[in-house]
Amino acid sequence: MSDQYSEQAKIFKALCDEKRLRILELLRSGEKCACVLVEILGMPQSSLAYHMKVLCDSGIVDCRQEGKWTHYRISRDGSRHAETLLRSVTTPVQALGSEDTFTCTKQC
């Protein structure tokens, strides 16, 4: 029940940090290796790893292991899922649940 919301929140949390938005911008031009991201962003390796974990856990970014290197790229499916989710949480519905017929004790 409330797990539904935390699952949804996880996806948007991935997008709500400035550093991660910067990382996504870099990934828009194509797959990047962690070491490249660290150099471009001038960020400690452990900090980058933290943000990449958040992005990957959300499904928006995919990672690919190649020997000792890890390559990251934007996931088409994950992005589409996020977009669909955003639309669904902001799209009006006609259907009425019990809460929609809720009558306030005040006059509003």
Partner DNA sequence: ATAATATATCGAAAAATATCGATTTGAGGG
Partner DNA sequence: CCCTCAAATCGATATTTTTCGATATATTAT
**Interface residues toward a copy of itself, by CB under 8 A:** 2, 5-6, 8-9, 12-13, 15-18, 21-22, 24-26, 28-30, 33, 35-36, 39-40, 60, 66, 69, 71, 74, 79, 82-83, 86-87, 89-97, 99-100, 102, 104-106, 108
Please give the Cα distance from 69 to 34 (Å, whole number).
7
Write down the least CB distance from residue 59 to DNA, Å: 15
CB of 11 closer than 8 Å to CB of 57 = no
CB of 57 closer than 8 Å to CB of 70 = no
Residue 4 as a binder of DNA (CB under 7 A): the answer is no
